[in-house]
Amino acid sequence: MYKIMLALHIVFAIFAIGPLVHAATTAGRGVRTGNADGVASSIRALRYYSIASVGVVIFGFGLMSADAPWGGKTGEFGQTYIWLSLILWVAAVGVVHALLIPALTNVADKIKAQDSVVTLTVRVASIGGVVGLIFVAIVFLMVYKPGT
């Protein structure tokens, strides 16, 4: 069971979190070019992949409850790297839904109305960068497991 949970955790991390970070960090391209369809595509990708990223958390908890091949459990929620990673994931998904998607929706509306979106370019790019940095911190925590 351990190997199945580990494989599913990693697969969801690659195929859900990877595209989520990509959509977040490259959303500014549609803003810079004034491409309403590109911005709408980024919004859809952010919504879908943020929901799919729940799979990483589910299989991570499954991984913690599975017996490790070396005996015992692979981790416990009380370990700093696990609960801190969960808090960071909630923060990243929260930033996507509370800040990035509304900003992109505003941009799409302004582009359709042929208004200027120059002032929103930096905001979208910086929010996307923050999301990317949060997920880098999560990867660091998962790999180095500080406190263990």
The whole-number mean pLDDT for each consecutive block of 10 residues of the chain, a chain of 148 residues, reads: 93 97 93 92 97 96 87 85 96 98 96 91 95 97 88
Q: Is 73 helix (H, G, I), strand (E, B) or coil?
A: strand
- Supply the pLDDT for residue 71: 80
Q: Cα separation of 107 and 2, whole Å?
A: 45
User: CA dist 34 to 19, 77, 113, Å?
Assistant: 22, 45, 11
Straight-line distance from the first to the last Cα atom of the chain, in angstroms, rounded to the nearest whole number: 23
- Supply the pLDDT for residue 75: 83
Residue that the structure tokens 């069971």 belong to: 1
pTM for the full predicted model? 0.92
